Structure 1
């Protein structure tokens, strides 16, 4: 007697955790890995698939900065691979900028073998998920090897949901060769979407509020640029003849700086903001916190007789604000609807603000205003500017015209070391646009090794280093805070051209406006990175 039942088919070939992870990354477009490897990371990186690219940075802070610039400029998440606790610690300063700029980063960190973590062996990251908090949206060390792909999937989808931001997963290095298990078969094929449009009644309330105001003003923040909603913001401003300010300490440019309605960047102080917005009965803040203050200049939160309306993609920003009504929604969709349905106000058009002439240079030390005038004249119409010359921010916003979305990046939390790495990452993400990094001499030393990555990867970023031999912003703060003479504020005698050449980057010095024009023109035609050092006078950011 024979059985009609067929013999069971052989078990399907199981993928390893490593194979399942690479497939997950591949399906989510994360085929560029930014990292600086240590021993815990080698089992993951060994035999990396040929369709993946590894971008090496010489310090984890630089790695994070390059990835931050890349993710912000591309609008897509970036994958970062760090080395255990020490590498994560090295990257924490840069992580503050990524957190406050809502940058979608998926950060993985190597961990010691699972059975040895409790013994605190060398390079064990004890309580690993606690280390990056509170600067990540999600932090985990999977409880079992088979949960690694799912946990990384959660990190990817969490990083990409509004408000976007960094996530962190610690992975023991003996997990990679374990069979992934059945759960991982579904992880790579998932798609998570969000919808955040205002309801019809909410939209009508916004329109009615704006229409009834006598003298409304628009304050735009970085999330407008991140959402690529700049054009709709222009339409709204023109329809209502609104003066437009950019929110304090702006890390991105949400509105064209040459537009007649543009008024500048608000100062990062209570008293300063209230003074500039005095006379407006309605303050509409879109895509920014309300407000991120810096220098302590107490004053009224709002001018007398004004009310504030806050539109944000971040529930935490809405919840912690001390004033105003808030709507949490998709920034791009809100601006699109307002630009489409808002009736014109019939107010007269505004006049363009007047920018004063640049002051005289002193010998071979150029006035920063003169430097920015030259840059503005020479740079391509769609150039991208990455700025970390912190004492000259106001002069740059006044004199360098930014016309298109994604044209400006600045450290969102003031963490130095962002500028040079981010300029590399932005250029990597935007090969069809030219990136100009404007870097202070104090800031340059925090991320100087980014030059090596730029040279190795042949990334044609132009770095203009403004060398005034001091921490200019700190000198201004010392005066503001009445600190008197303060040690540790001068950094003279650094030869940035020599440093750049040591990392394999072409470098030159520009002692005159004419030389700067010539050297910048040449650098913008190059297919390799260039450093231009310019000695400058010191100005105050206040």
Structure 2
């Protein structure tokens, strides 16, 4: 009779979960024994980096990914990174080792007391099977829950379970399929299309889920058919629309009053693939202008339920886009030419303005480059200079938690080996996921990391001014040389002093990971 481990490995193989990101401890070793030849274990040196890499990989592939963590300590180390995966709706399946069953009650060392509760409320589902023979079924549920909810799940497994006979019914899990269809019904479709067709001045708001679901080009077709302005939802983690398209107005500000102001004069706000809304800075005001109707379409039932205003339809945004395109008739046209990129700003002194760096990236790298960005103080400079016209071009820490950038870039590069991938990372952010450089070196990824060094937590300084705390301690980080750090992890690195040197470096395609350190002037996010 096959063991729990063998049935589990076969289930994972059939579901395509054969790339495992992890940092194992003793409790995890029995699960990792006898991994089939087709499996790949990607070692990260810290659990935060492990989850960040898996997050980037899952977002870039669009498929669930298995994460292997160690009991309470490893799971706890990963929780900060997990917040980004939750906000990005990334289907991570986290499997953690647990002490042997007789040792859990006495709280022996490395036991995870009440393991499912540790990860709640972050994960969408968490469990520890009541018996060894339930492990394959429980793991299948973790995978299906992650797919259906598009949210990380968590399973704690006592390590003595893996060698137990799986039982007569265990193989029934191997061929299971769980699917969901979310197409609007007849009356729902009629009401929605009538509302959109009747709008005199509609505005379209697109969320990161549009790019995640592969709807980037479909969203462009819908926008051009509607003919109105297009905004990206606030707190953007994926770019759902070409940022220099003539109808694109930018990323909505993450405050109640400025969002409402952006909708002035519009009778309908159609939100596709986004919560309503992920505010950040508290700027109170009316949620919507007088006379403005909001309709939200999302697959995320929780996002629909918690919205403070408007109407919501829990449905597949792709199906809704198809429905509207058919109902609204022939193809539309963009309202004008793509907007030109302004000349980059320059800085006084030896440091480069971030706009000069981003202009170099735009000019020297291929148009299909995927950028993983974690340099929050340069946000306004980024959008002024970049011209992103392809799906999957932009990734950002979805919950704002630092430490996604470097690991996320590694994960995206692993998922898309034939596409140029660049991590644009601030010096304040880099330290949270710096160990991902080692994994990049071990995997020989053709990844470019552009490290913007300004010697401070720039976004934090900006927020200090907003909150009336300009003299808060702990905002400066002098004395860091990331070229030496990178070389210690096995990554080629160099410091560049000027724009022409930077452009020359970027024009050469890497044959492995490289880090380019650039000293930049301090800027603010907006």
8 Å contact 2:221–2:332 — kept in the other structure? no
TM-score, length of structure 2 as denominator length: 0.98
> Which residue does 2:180 correspond to in 1?
194
Q: How far has the Cα of 1:344 moved from its partner?
A: 6.0
Q: How far has the Cα of 1:166 moved from its partner?
A: 0.5
What CA distance in whole angstroms lies between the structure 2 residues aligned with 1:350 and 1:196?
35
Matches within 5 A, 1:98-137: 98-137=85-124
Report whether the alignment pairs 1:69 with 2:56.
Answer: yes
Matches within 5 A, 1:202-241: 202-241=188-227
**Which residue of 236, 253, 256 corresponds with 1:250?**
236
**Which residue of 7, 28, 39 corresponds with 2:26?**
39
> Which residue does 1:418 correspond to in 2?
404
Matches within 5 A, 1:141-540: 141-161=128-148, 163-343=149-329, 349-350=335-336, 352=338, 356-522=342-508, 525-540=509-524
TM-score, length of structure 1 as denominator length: 0.95
> Which residue does 1:5 correspond to in 2?
none
What CA distance in whole angstroms lies between the structure 1 residues aligned with 2:489 and 2:73?
25
What CA distance in whole angstroms lies between the structure 1 residues aligned with 2:382 and 2:112?
42
8 Å contact 2:379–2:524 — kept in the other structure? no
Q: How far has the Cα of 1:361 moved from its partner?
A: 2.1
8 Å contact 2:297–2:312 — kept in the other structure? yes
Q: Which moved more, 1:347-356 or 1:437-446?
A: 347-356
What CA distance in whole angstroms lies between the structure 1 residues aligned with 2:154 and 2:332?
50
Q: How far has the Cα of 1:212 moved from its partner?
A: 1.3
**Which residue of 7, 17, 41 corresponds with 2:4?**
17
Unaligned runs of 5+ in 2: none
8 Å contact 2:461–2:470 — kept in the other structure? no
Unaligned runs of 5+ in 1: 1-13
What CA distance in whole angstroms lies between the structure 2 residues aligned with 1:345 and 1:310?
23
Can you list the C-alpha shifts for 1:149-205, whole angstroms capped at 9, x where unaligned? Answer: 0000000111111x3110000000001110001221111111111100111322222
Aligned length: 526
8 Å contact 2:450–2:516 — kept in the other structure? yes
**Which residue of 126, 137, 142 corresponds with 1:139?**
126
What CA distance in whole angstroms lies between the structure 2 residues aligned with 1:272 and 1:370?
29
Q: 1:436 aligns to what SS in structure 2? A: strand
What CA distance in whole angstroms lies between the structure 2 residues aligned with 1:57 and 1:150?
28
Q: 1:131 aligns to what SS in structure 2? A: helix
Q: 2:220 aligns to what SS in structure 1? A: helix
Can you list the C-alpha shifts for 1:57-116, whole angstroms capped at 9, x where unaligned? Answer: 000000000000000000000000000000000000011011111100110000000001
What CA distance in whole angstroms lies between the structure 1 residues aligned with 2:267 and 2:335?
19
8 Å contact 2:372–2:405 — kept in the other structure? yes
Q: Which moved more, 1:460-469 or 1:42-51?
A: 42-51
Q: How far has the Cα of 1:354 moved from its partner?
A: 6.3
8 Å contact 1:233–1:339 — kept in the other structure? no
**How well do the aligned residues superpose, as a CA RMSD in angstroms?**
1.5
8 Å contact 1:263–1:353 — kept in the other structure? no
Q: How far has the Cα of 1:356 moved from its partner?
A: 4.4
Q: 1:517 aligns to what SS in structure 2? A: helix
Q: How far has the Cα of 1:46 moved from its partner?
A: 2.3
Structure with max Cα Rg: 1
Q: How far has the Cα of 1:471 moved from its partner?
A: 0.4
Tell me: CA distance 1:347–1:432, structure 2 relative to 1, closer, same or farther (3 Å): closer
